[in-house]
Structure 1
Amino acid sequence: MLDTDKPLDPKDEKKLNTRGIGSGICYEPFIKIHEINSKGESYRIRGRNTSRAHHLLSRLEFSAFLVFDRFHLTYDIKEQFPLPIIDTLSICARLGIKHPQIRNKLKVVTTDLVVELKGKPSIAISVNYSSNLDNVRTVEKLQIEKLYWEELGYEWKLFTEQEIPAIVKENLEWLHAASQNSPDLYKELSFDDIATVISRLSNSDKTLSTVCAAMDDKYECKAGFHIGVIRNAAAANLIDVPLNIVFRNWRAKDVSMIIGLDSFNARLSDVS
């Protein structure tokens, strides 16, 4: 049976009615983290440009998202974006490859991140560990995505762990550890609580760790409390930090609230 004669997976067909449509806060990803049986790590994180929770299916996808979400020209990111089945079937026929399917039912091909930029061509990003590129089916899926987006006029990029600069990678690892091992105390903090901590930094030129330690003493908090707030809020994408400077050298004046996030009552427990 030809791929064009095979039915679309009913679950995928149902999701296409409501997902992968719209933009910004109204966009709903085709795949959500609770719908996959992943042996790895997955994340829900607030987007600084969309004010919604984004569903990221791997640690590398989480890192890629943070990099692009903090890029000054980014105004929207759509994750797990579904490609039209009619187009992917056509591309597979032209490439002479089998369309992704399970038990003779066609599966929708998705792109990990679609990044919309101000004044520049949009970028479609496929996120994959370099070790996966030896797999023939992985490469074939990437070929489908690349051809689809380039024919649409988008720039297509493959994002591997090798694309992350060493300093950015170290910062993301530090933030990641906080998001994975955060005490309940931090998860109960509200947006207003975080804003209060940021206001205490007083735009100081001293290192962030020095200022936070002084605030722990001043407000009689447990040692490490204030730097913990900053670390967890940055991991949750609720505050802005300079990823191009290693976290040990951040200064108090480098940290700020993300403009626009006060439109919702964010808590660290909203992300995982």
Structure 2
Amino acid sequence: MRGRRFASQQDIERHVANGFGAGAGVSYVPWLRVQDVPSRGRSHKIQGVKVDRTHHLFSDLERFYFLVCEFSEDVVDIREQYPLFPVERAQAIATAIGVRYPRYPKTTLPYVMTTDFLLTVREPDGNFKSVARTVKYRSDLVGKGSKRTLEKLDVEKRFWNSQGVDWRIITDEFFTPDLIKNLGLLRKYSKLHRDLMKVPLHIKFIECLESSREYPWTLATCLRKIANHLSISYIDAQGIFFHLIWTKALKVDLVSTPLFLTAPVPTFEVFKIPVQASMKENLS
């Protein structure tokens, strides 16, 4: 799919009329897509498991944070590459603080600035709010060449703060290699075949897993024994184990414990009984 032109105000207005940068949930369309910015390096188009649409991410770091947002139970909607509209408000902020507002290359057209992620999160009291998050490598924020980046981030911060929206920078220091690998693995098991999604099966699986605590087994050995006991395949036992972690039925240290099948069974806590979640869904 071809990228879009940003050469005139008419181009901007046409893209707005076509729904770019608008909507929520599955109907949201990012202001920028991967094909619109071909020079951005390691970009990703990922089909969401929390929000069932294609997400456009412009760096590995954005992908890492996207995994965290999908895993979080507090995040209910993820809107990436969200535009700072109206542009006039962002321009006014830049002027007020003495920052040169960016323009599209080879034009005098004011650039439509974007925030990497505008999230809808559920608060402890059950209410919802929007938070804005920008994802940056720490190296881009310090030293030579960082001045212009920091200027634009200041405009972005003030834009959101003026609307009462919490804005923060997420850097690569937020992630560990184990967390990234673990979430990438677990996400593959966010959904299982219908036969493996039965609550009684999950309860029996957890009972078998708890009874294995006293044995010095590797995770692979443990899952094979559980598979034999429940008359399911080893691959299905693997899927259920990782799915239960993704759905928070099992709580495991994902930050510093790699989920290797050849490693010992990771320390786990039964955090949420599957039948309770099922009953809650049936009552809603």
> TM > 0.5 between the two?
yes
Given candidates 222, 247, 254, the residue that maps to 1:240 is: 247
Asked if the contact 2:190/2:247 (under 8 Å) is kept, the reply is no
Q: Secondary structure at 2:41's aligned position in 1? A: coil
> Which amino acid in 2 is paired with 1:103?
K
Using the alignment, how far apart are the partners of 1:23 and 1:43 within structure 2?
A: 18
Given candidates 138, 142, 155, the residue that maps to 1:130 is: 138
Asked if the contact 2:196/2:236 (under 8 Å) is kept, the reply is no
Alignment of 1:88-107 (within 5 A): 88-101=90-103, 102-104=105-107, 105-107=109-111
Using the alignment, how far apart are the partners of 2:239 and 2:24 within structure 1?
A: 33
Are the structure 2 counterparts of residues 190 and 66 from structure 1 closer, same or farther at C-alpha, using a change threshold of 3 Å? closer
> Which amino acid in 2 is paired with 1:147?
R
Asked if the contact 1:99/1:106 (under 8 Å) is kept, the reply is yes
> Which amino acid in 1 is paired with 2:20?
R
Q: Which residue of 2 aligns with 1:27?
A: 28
Using the alignment, how far apart are the partners of 1:113 and 1:22 within structure 2?
A: 14
Are the structure 2 counterparts of residues 229 and 131 from structure 1 closer, same or farther at C-alpha, using a change threshold of 3 Å? farther
Are the structure 2 counterparts of residues 155 and 178 from structure 1 closer, same or farther at C-alpha, using a change threshold of 3 Å? closer
Alignment of 1:142 onto 2:147 = no
> Which amino acid in 1 is paired with 2:137?
Y
Q: Which residue of 2 aligns with 1:109?
A: 113
Asked if the contact 1:20/1:30 (under 8 Å) is kept, the reply is yes
Using the alignment, how far apart are the partners of 2:59 and 2:181 within structure 1?
A: 13
Asked if the contact 1:12/1:107 (under 8 Å) is kept, the reply is no
Q: Which residue of 2 aligns with 1:160?
A: 171
> Which amino acid in 1 is paired with 2:28?
Y
**Once the two structures are aligned, what percentage of the paired residues are identical?**
22
Using the alignment, how far apart are the partners of 1:97 and 1:87 within structure 2?
A: 13
| Structure 1: tracts of 5 or more residues without a match | 1-6, 180-185, 261-272
> Which amino acid in 2 is paired with 1:52?
R
Given candidates 139, 154, 173, the residue that maps to 2:181 is: 173
The two structures have a TM-score, normalised by structure 1, of 0.68
Query: Which whole-Å deviations, capped at 9, do the CAs of 1:157-208 have from their partners, x for residues lacking one?
Result: 00001123x4xx41322444798xxxxxx8xx99553x44455652233486
Q: CA RMSD in A?
A: 3.7
Asked if the contact 1:45/1:54 (under 8 Å) is kept, the reply is yes
